[in-house]
Amino acid sequence: MEPLLSAVGIRKVFPGVVALDGVSFDVRRGEVHGLLGENGAGKSTLIAILYGVYMPDGGEIYINGRRTLIKSPRHAAGLGISVISQHFALVDTLTVEENLKLSGIDVETAVKIGRELGVEIPLDKYVGELAVGEKQRVEIVKALARKSEILLMDEPTALLSPREVKALLSIVRRLAEMGKAVVFVTHKIKEAVEAADRITVLRRGRRVNTYERPFDEGVLLEAMFQGVVQRRVSKSSSIGDVIYRAEDLSGERVRRATVEVRRGELVAVLGVAGNGQEELMALLSGFKKPRGGRLIINGEDVTGRPFSEFLRRGVAYLPEDRGRALAKELSVLDNFKIRCIQGCMEKLAKAKEVLDIDFPSPSTRAAALSGGNQQKLLLARELWLVKPYVLVASYPTRGLDVDTAERFYALAKSAVKGGAVVSMEDVEEAVERADRIYVISRGEIAASFTPPFDVDEIAEAMTT
Amino acid sequence: MRLVQRQSPSPLHYVAAFLGSLATVILIVFALTGDLAVTARALATVDAGYLFRVFVVIGVVSLSGVVSYRAGLWNIGQEGQAIVGALAAISADNAAEAVMSAALAAAGWTLIPAALRVAPGVNEAVTTFLMSLAAVSAARYFVEGPLKDPAKKGFIATVEAPYMEPALAAVLLAGVLAGVVLLYRTRVGLTMRLLSSGEEVVRYAGKPPKLYIAATLGLSGILAGIGGAVEIMTRDAGRYMTLQQVSTGFGLYGISAAWLGGLHPLGATAASLYIAWLYQVAVNLKVAGLPALVANALVGTAMAWGLAGYVMYKYKVVWR
């Protein structure tokens, strides 16, 4: 079958970086084509080129066999191309129906498409009240209502709960059955294998290969990382006394949460997104003052003390929103200096080497770094440099490729002197990494688990 | 057309902005005079002493802008703070005391918008601007009241401010410049700059953001106040304030220099010399019989170019 969209020899160069180097890729009608690669592989750049955000420096794009110059996102939309990403073009303060009207979409058509897709459109609900998965489904329906034939899905599962991921993957398959050409960008091998008909692997701006069903996960992993990554299942061998304890901690959404961390322990807080994890992490780190309850570090009550006091006691906090922790308008060096006192240039150079952070110079603005590199910079500063006593991290591996996630866990093990409490949404990751798991649901600690873990039991606790 | 943020900001755009401003000024002057020889004379005639004095004043006030805007705080009330500084200088006995009084008075004056920003969260751009209007009224009260010189019969003016040697003013500018440059090498300076990324980042750094907002606005006000004191004290004659001559316009000129200088202390100081030259050109035009407000127009174009330079420094234009 002739490809609906075909990109041939695409090249894109940013100052100091070859983002794409002669990448060829095509997607057919009725096909889901997975685009797999680690952070910085060039997936998002390729999507941006196919959607007219960037002009390629080389190569050609064909739609229905005709050479096409995609000049802008508007032009791409006119050509029947839509993007579904982690960022939604929806107004939170309007209802779904109002949002559809705002986008010039006939509401009845949208409802009909939703029905065909097996998706209910909650017309009367305000977008701000919707779960991430629901917002995404509205975006998909919007794209179909605009008669898009090519759907570019850029890391669509990044913010979804396990249940929502399953639902999305079945929608993706349904889209292909409807004759749409779907490009599914991900760094998660399992998702690509489940959803795609073909998978193209990118690595450092180059196409490694395109694979057809049946897929071999080992081959895909090898293609993504050239065999440099080995997943390590690392459990702490010796668990010590309780060094950090939160008793009946309450906030705006969190209610009477009790969490404890023992020396040498990695504790996971697991839950479906939007159940109060982010606030719990902010409360545990001392970044936010609790409405009730107590926080005890090494037997001393530190409840309500300023965040600086928590920092002084060796608490490091990695928030979900990196904008809280990085001054994106300032340079990489200035950001590093937030915690570094002396010899910062040398230490930054060393951190760059150890954590493989990609930035052209210390004076580069933090905003110019990719998301993965911003996260690495944060890890370098808060873990590698500070070597905290207690680490409180909110989704530290979200959006990271396997390699960077491995680096995080290795660093958490080697640099954290006391213990760590980390919020996660992937049950398998928690089971693999944690010494103890707390499940949070509707702001409350619904259950806690110690090894040996039962995945089904934990997953059930997450959804109660 | 759209603006795309640059990966690495390009300082060359400030040079382009400067050249653009220069070209605009030459065109305006030529348009006003309609004569090449008069234009050349207006642009080339310079009173070195006068230019130097204006440069020092604008230089100090521009650093007030740098301190504030680099922290993402919109102090646009330099004019009012300079007036308050000048009033404090008038009431002092000597130059050193005048500088100290100006700093204290301007700090107190700026702490009002700072407190309104910190506590109820009122935007400082609004309050500092309104405080400038209040400063004019306050100054008129002092001119007619507590600071009125009874010796000036039939002429309502204040007593004279102490004299400051231009050389001493230059030392003061150098000191303030060195102070700001050094400040940015300290953790306090870094924290002030962190403010431009939001209060959360400052708190994340373990510092109290509200304190830093107040301190930064206060410091910005102090510098503008010192600028006002230097302005009145370095005059050859007439070191007093009258009801008609309260506001000097140097607040606006300082803001323009700060932006044209890329919000960098050294850049702002260099830009201050250029703005001072513009002021000289405006004086030359006035001597040639053109309206006095030409000065504001010329500086206004420089400020527009400065802002354009700032935008182009951070963003690039994509024509599609």
pLDDT at B302 over 70: yes
pLDDT in tens, A77-94: 999 999 988 778 888 889
Percent of the residues in chain B that have a pLDDT greater than 70, as a whole number: 97
The residue written with tokens 């009367």 in the block is: A124
Residues B168-189, mean pLDDT to the nearest whole number: 95
pLDDT of amino acid B163: 94
B→A contacts (Cβ < 8 Å), by residue, are 5-9, 187, 190, 193-194, 196-198, 200-201, 203-208, 320
Residues A226-254, mean pLDDT to the nearest whole number: 71
pLDDT of amino acid A464: 59
Residues A363-383, mean pLDDT to the nearest whole number: 87
For all residues of chain B together, what is the average pLDDT? 90
* CA count, 13 A, side-chain hemisphere, B78: 34
**CB-based burial label for A53 (10 Å; 0-12, 13-18, 19+):** middle
Tell me which residues of chain A, numbers 150 to 189, contact chain B at a CB-CB cutoff of 8 Å: none
Residues B257-269, mean pLDDT to the nearest whole number: 91
Phi then psi for A388, rounded to 5 degrees? -75, 165
Sign of CA dihedral A213, A219, A225, A231: positive
SS3 A461: helix
Closest to A72 (Cβ–Cβ): which among B6, B197, B320? B320
Interface contact A328-B197, CB threshold 8 A = yes
pLDDT in tens, B112-129: 999 999 988 899 999 999
pLDDT at A133 over 90: no
Distance CA A109, CA A209 (A): 39
Quickly state the pLDDT bin for A191 (edges 50, 70, 90). confident
Spell out which residues of chain A touch residue B201, defining contact as CB-CB under 8 Å: 323-327
Quickly state the pLDDT bin for B187 (edges 50, 70, 90). very high
Distance CA A57, CA B57 (A): 50
pLDDT of amino acid B7: 65
- Map chain B to HEC letters: CEEEECCCCCCHHHHHHHHHHHHHHHHHHHHHHCCHHHHHHHHHCCCHHHHHHHHHHHHHHHHHHHHHHCCCCCCCCHHHHHHHHHHHHHCCCCHHHHHHHHHHHHHHHHHHHHHHHHCCCCCHHHHHHHHHHHHHHHHHHHHHCCCECCCCCCCCEECCCCCCCHHHHHHHHHHHHHHHHHHCCCHHHHHHHHHHHCHHHHHHCCCCHHHHHHHHHHHHHHHHHHHHHHHHHCCCCCCCCECCCCCCCHHHHHHHHHHHCCCCHHHHHHHHHHHHHHHHHHHHHHHCCCCCCHHHHHHHHHHHHHHHHHHHHHEEEECC
For all residues of chain A together, what is the average pLDDT? 87
Phi then psi for A358, rounded to 5 degrees? -100, 105
Closest to B193 (Cβ–Cβ): which among A308, A311, A330? A330
Interface contact B7-A15, CB threshold 8 A = yes
pLDDT at B218 over 70: yes
Quickly state the pLDDT bin for B272 (edges 50, 70, 90). very high
Interface contact A364-B8, CB threshold 8 A = yes
How many CB atoms sit inside 10 A of residue A417's CB?
A: 14
The residue written with tokens 């250029």 in the block is: B274
pLDDT in tens, A378-425: 999 999 999 999 999 998 887 677 777 888 888 888 889 999 999 987
pLDDT at A176 over 70: yes
Percent of the residues in chain A that have a pLDDT greater than 70, as a whole number: 94
Phi then psi for B44, rounded to 5 degrees? -100, -20
pLDDT of amino acid A273: 65
Q: Which residues contact B116 (CB under 8 A, 6 or more apart)?
A: B122, B124, B127
Spell out which residues of chain B touch residue A16, defining contact as CB-CB under 8 Å: 7
Q: B199 to chain A, minimum CA–CA distance in Å?
A: 9
Which strands form A257-262's sheet, in the order they lie side by side? A257-262, A242-250, A292-297, A300-301
Distance CA B318, CA B320 (A): 6
pLDDT of amino acid A374: 87
C-alpha distance from residue A23 to each of A13, A100, A288, B158 (Å): 12, 36, 46, 76
DSSP for A331-371, written as a single string: BHHHHHTTT--SSHHHHHHHHHHHHT---S-TTSBGGGS-H
Q: B296 to chain A, minimum CA–CA distance in Å?
A: 32
Phi then psi for B219, rounded to 5 degrees? -65, -40
Q: Is residue A55 within 8 Å of A61, Cβ to Cβ?
A: no
Q: Is residue A120 within 8 Å of A93, Cβ to Cβ?
A: no
Higher pLDDT, A361 or A181: A181
Quickly state the pLDDT bin for B237 (edges 50, 70, 90). confident
Percent of the residues in chain A that have a pLDDT greater than 90, as a whole number: 46
Comparing A151-155, A208-212, B137-141, B290-294, the range with the smallest average pLDDT is: B290-294
Q: A332 to chain B, minimum CA–CA distance in Å?
A: 11
Residues B233-237, mean pLDDT to the nearest whole number: 90
Quickly state the pLDDT bin for A231 (edges 50, 70, 90). very low
Sign of CA dihedral B38, B41, B43, B48: negative
Torsion of CA A65, A70, A75, A79, to 10 degrees: 20
pLDDT of amino acid B117: 95
How many CB atoms sit inside 10 A of residue B108's CB?
A: 15
Nearest to A158, CA basis, from A84, A83, A86: A86
Distance CA A448, CA A436 (A): 7
Quickly state the pLDDT bin for A268 (edges 50, 70, 90). very high
Nearest to A143, CA basis, from A153, A133, A134: A153
Distance CA B228, CA B188 (A): 26
> A147 in the Ramachandran plot: left (φ > 0), alpha (ψ -120 to 50) or beta?
left
* CA count, 13 A, side-chain hemisphere, B259: 25
Interface contact B204-A330, CB threshold 8 A = no
Distance CA B276, CA B257 (A): 9
pLDDT at B5 over 80: no
pLDDT of amino acid A15: 61
Residues A57-66, mean pLDDT to the nearest whole number: 93
On whether any CB of chain B is under 8 Å from the CB of A330, the answer is yes
Strand-pair partners of A17: A14
Spell out which residues of chain A touch residue B320, defining contact as CB-CB under 8 Å: 55, 71-72
Sign of CA dihedral A107, A112, A114, A120: positive
pLDDT of amino acid A357: 87
Q: How high is the ipTM of this complex?
A: 0.82
pLDDT of amino acid B227: 96
pLDDT of amino acid B9: 66
Q: Return the amino acid letter for A33.
A: H
